Amino acid sequence: MKKLLTTASATLLLAGIATQAQAADGTINFTGTVSAVTCTISAAGGTTTGTVTLPTVAKSSLATSGATAGTTQFAINLTGCTGGSPAPTQAAAWFENSGDVNAAGRLINSAAGGASNVEIALYNLTSTSPIAIGAGSGAIGSSGTAYPITSGSATLNYQAKYYATGAAGAGPVAGKVNYTIQYQ
C-alpha cells in the first residue's frame, strides 16, 4: 500500500510540473480579408498558368556566382476586375514558396539532367534586385511592386533571368512558381 501511495504521489507531482511547462506565454492573433474582387487572369500568354521561355545562353555568360543572363520580360494581365467596396485601385503578384524555391528566394532548376549551378531569379520590371520568392506577407508592397488598376484592368510586369550560383554547366533549365494576386 505504501508503495502504491508513493507511486501515485510521484505521478501527481510530475503531472503538476508538466502542466506548468505547458502554460500559455502569449497570444497570436490572425487577421485577413476575403475579397469580393474578381478579375480574369492571363499569365505569361496563357490563362492562369503560363510559360515563360528564356533564351539559350552560353555557359560562359554564367561563369561566376551572381552572374545573370537571358533577361526575359513577362506579364500577368488582369481584366474585368469588379467587386469590392471600395473598388480596388492596385494589384500585385505574391510569388509563393511552394517547395520549388531555395532559401535565397530563387527558383530551383528542376530540369532532368539540368544545367548545374543555375537557378531562375524573378525581378520587378524596373528593379535590379531579385524578388525574394516566398518572403514578405504577401500584402501589397511587402514583396514587390503594386500596379494600378485602371478601368478594371492592370498589367503586372516582371522579368525572369538565369542566375548563376557558381560556374554554370550546360543543360536544360526549368522552374515553376505559384502566385496569388493581392488587391488593395
pLDDT class of 86 with cuts at 50, 70, 90: confident
Over range 169-173, report the average pLDDT: 95
CA-CA distance, 179 to 162, in Å (whole number)?
A: 19
CA-CA distance, 163 to 117, in Å (whole number)?
A: 8
| Grid coordinates of 88 | 480596388
pLDDT, tens digit, for every residue of 45-84? 777 788 899 999 999 999 999 999 999 999 999 998 887 7
Contact 177, 49 (CB under 8 A): no
Domain ranges of the chain: 45-183
Output the CA torsion sign for 120, 123, 128, 130: negative
Question: In 3D, which of 126, 106, 125 has the Cα closest to residue 117?
Answer: 106
- The amino acid present at 65, given as its one-letter code, is S
Taking the domain 45-183, which CATH number applies?
Answer: 2.60.40.1090
Q: Is 160 helix (H, G, I), strand (E, B) or coil?
A: strand
pTM of the model: 0.76
pLDDT class of 5 with cuts at 50, 70, 90: very low
DSSP 125: T
Residue 74: partners with Cβ closer than 8 Å, 6 or more residues away: 43, 44, 45, 50, 52, 157, 158, 159, 160
- The amino acid present at 111, given as its one-letter code, is A
